[in-house]
Amino acid sequence: MKWALLSVWDKTGIADLAKVLIKHDYRILSSGGTGALLQQAGIPYTDVATYTGFPEMMHGRVKTLHPKVHGGILGRRGIDDAVMQEHGIEPIDLVVVNLYPFEAMSAAGLTLEEIIEYIDVGGPAMVRAAAKNHKFVAVVVDPADYCMTADAVRRGGFTADERLSLAAKAFSRTAAYDGAIANYLTGIDRPFPEVLTVQFRNGRALRYGENPHQAAAVYGDAGIAGEQPLQGKQMSYNNYLDVDAAVGLLREFDDCAVVIVKHNNPCGVATGDKLLDTYIAAREVDPVSAYGSIVAMNREVTADVARELTRTFVEVVIAPSCTPEALEIMKAKENMRVLRLPEPVVQDEIRSIDGGVLVQRTEPFREDWRVVTEREPDAHEMRAMHLAWKVCRHTKSNAIIFADEKAVIGIGAGQMNRVESAEIAVRKARKPLAGSAVASDAFLPFPDTMEVAAAAGATALVQPGGSIRDQEVIDAANRLNIAMIFTGVRHFRH
């Protein structure tokens, strides 16, 4: 006769698992809400208090913290048998435990006194004990593993590899749990915790990092990090970086839009009515840079779009969906990865630096678009400025973006001064810039950038403002008949 200890907050699937255990000659130890559920389902079990001879107390704070429980979990078969027999300790072979929902409740606006009651003590103690003694005890902390657990029970037991894998998962869970508690407690009355603990799952090794001599891996089971190609090669380190950049910009648009990214910067952006025409317009912004790029789309890829995508070299295509015919067409490009566009994940940005990390959080903000020149922009110029500004927010500083109502025309990025960014954008433009709008991610300290834009044909400019020389720039805009807007919000991107 084997023993299983069942004590779960999330009771999904626990009754079905318990039925399998009973059918295969397990005796069940349980208590509290889990025991009540088993009783309601007609599943026999032994109450922990009956087994230990010690009552549950302090409103459930003390239930399983007893030598007869922990001795049964920690006892080494063939080593501790005599001690266990002397003290009436039954060997426990299976521990199924999940923890109080501290993470969820800590975000629910409870007081400190209330949230403290969601710090599980007995649960992590049992989980850690079972994981330590995994040679003899299987520990299950995730309802998703109940099916595998039931299969192991039916065939007579767990393999050594299964026990080790379950133990590793258990320690990962308690580490994340304790990390969440530490983050909460060290973050009281602070915008960020004094000690930051983070955990990402689903780690996968990549072929290499940014370059072949660098090792790399990706972690995460949601958002871009959790996506696997529907077809094509496995994703690379650089692919993930570029897809993340492309999707960040794509999510700025509700209308049909295509974003093309190369080396973490947009090299083509367009909006339109039909996806095929929009993709072609985006690609034609800079077709040389679009070669070997990331293409992000916010509409379903159909056969006509797929055929156009396969006419050139594209590293990754990401879209909400693809028709079966489109996927079949894109299979001709064996190396082209096709990804599903996932739901966004709201989280802090974390970047490593020598000796530590930087953490950044973007709180909801409102821009205050204010016309500061004598001439107000017309409707065409306003639409063009909105498009240019969206792209500017996702382009490496110093960023200068020229656009019309439907597409970007010229992009200048990553330069050490704003004038050179403007000159690069003008030089790279494949369409006339007459009547275009231009966006700058930060204020213009001098009129020179605007003078370059005006000479190229731009008639409207959007920038954050905030320079001590704002009036000088405004005067220059009036002289050049440029309509200019200040947004009040800077968008550096390093």
Asked whether residue 48 is domain-assigned, the answer is: yes
Domain assignment present for 361: no
Residue 307 lies in a domain: yes
Residues 40 and 144 in one domain: yes
- Could you tell me if 243 and 175 lie in one domain? no
What mean pLDDT comes out for the span 223-227?
Answer: 95
Strands 460-463 and 356-360: unpaired
Q: Give yes or no: residues 169 and 26 share one domain.
A: yes
DSSP-assigned letter for residue 322? B
59 in active site: no
Query: Is the peptide bond between 398 and the residue preceding it cis, with omega within 30 degrees of 0?
Result: yes
Assigned domain for 43 exists? yes
Residue whose C-alpha is closest to residue 119's, from 209, 63, 180, 187? 180
Instruction: Indicate if 307 and 402 belong to the same structural domain.
Output: no
State the amino acid at position 41 in one-letter form.
Answer: A
State how beta strands 483-486 and 460-463 pair: parallel
Six token digits for residue 464: 């954050």
Does any domain span residue 19?
yes
Q: In 90-215, where do the E strands start and end?
A: 94-98, 138-140, 204-206
Pair 441, 492: CB distance under 8 Å = yes
Q: Is this structure's pTM higher than 0.85?
A: yes
* Residue the block writes with tokens 């009515």: 273
Look at residue 193 and tell me if it is in a domain: no
Tokens describing residue 471: 């009036």
Please say if 132 is a catalytic residue.
Answer: yes
Structural domain includes residue 492 = no
Strands 138-140 and 94-98 come out as parallel
Please state the φ and ψ torsions of residue 461, each to the nearest 5 degrees: -140, 135
* Judgement on whether residues 299 and 399 belong to the same structural domain of the protein: no
The reply to whether 173 and 86 lie within a common domain is yes
CATH for 142: 3.40.50.1380
Count: domains in the chain: 3
Same domain membership, residue 440 and residue 378: yes
Helix, strand, or coil (residue 328): helix
Among the options 19, 263, 428, 431, which is catalytic?
A: 263
How high is the pLDDT of residue 57?
A: 63
| Same structural domain, 21 and 126 | yes
Check whether residue 235 and residue 325 sit in a common domain.
yes
Residues 446-475 pLDDT 10s: 999 999 999 999 999 999 999 999 999 999
Confidence at residue 59, expressed as pLDDT on a 0 to 100 scale? 67
Q: In which domain, by residue range, is 69 found?
A: 2-186
**What would the pLDDT profile of 389-427 be if each residue is shown by its tens digit?**
999 999 999 999 999 999 999 999 999 999 999 999 999
Return the bridge partners of 30, or none. Answer: 47
Task: Give pLDDT tens digits for 95-133.
Answer: 999 998 998 888 888 888 889 889 888 899 999 999 999
pLDDT value at 61 more than 70 = no
From 132, 386, 428, 431, active-site residue:
132
pLDDT, mean over the chain: 94
Domain boundary among 319, 340, 361: 340
The answer to whether residues 376 and 457 belong to one domain is: yes
Q: CA-CA-CA-CA torsion for 152, 156, 162, 168, nearest 10 degrees?
A: 90
Q: Which residues pair with 156 in a beta bridge?
A: none
Do residue 312 and residue 375 come from a single domain? Answer: no
Contact 68, 52 (CB under 8 A): yes
Can you tell me the distance from the alpha carbon of 347 to that of 145, in angstroms, rounded to the nearest whole number?
27
- The percent of residues above 90 in pLDDT, for the chain, comes to 84
Closest to 298 (Cα-Cα) out of 328, 264, 268, 253: 253
Question: 227 and 153 in one domain?
Answer: no
| Burial of 205: CB neighbours in 10 Å, binned 0-12, 13-18, 19+ | exposed
- pLDDT computed for residue 219 by the predictor: 96
Whether pLDDT at 55 is above 80: no
pLDDT tier at 489 (50, 70, 90 boundaries)? Answer: very high
CA 274 to chain centroid, in Å, comes to 30
- Please write the tens of the pLDDT for every residue from 302-350: 999 999 999 999 999 999 999 999 999 999 999 999 999 999 999 999 9
pLDDT at residue 86, rounded to an integer: 86
The CATH code of the domain that includes 271 is: 3.40.140.20
Which of these three, 163, 186, 209, is where a domain ends? 186
Residue 201 lies in a domain: no
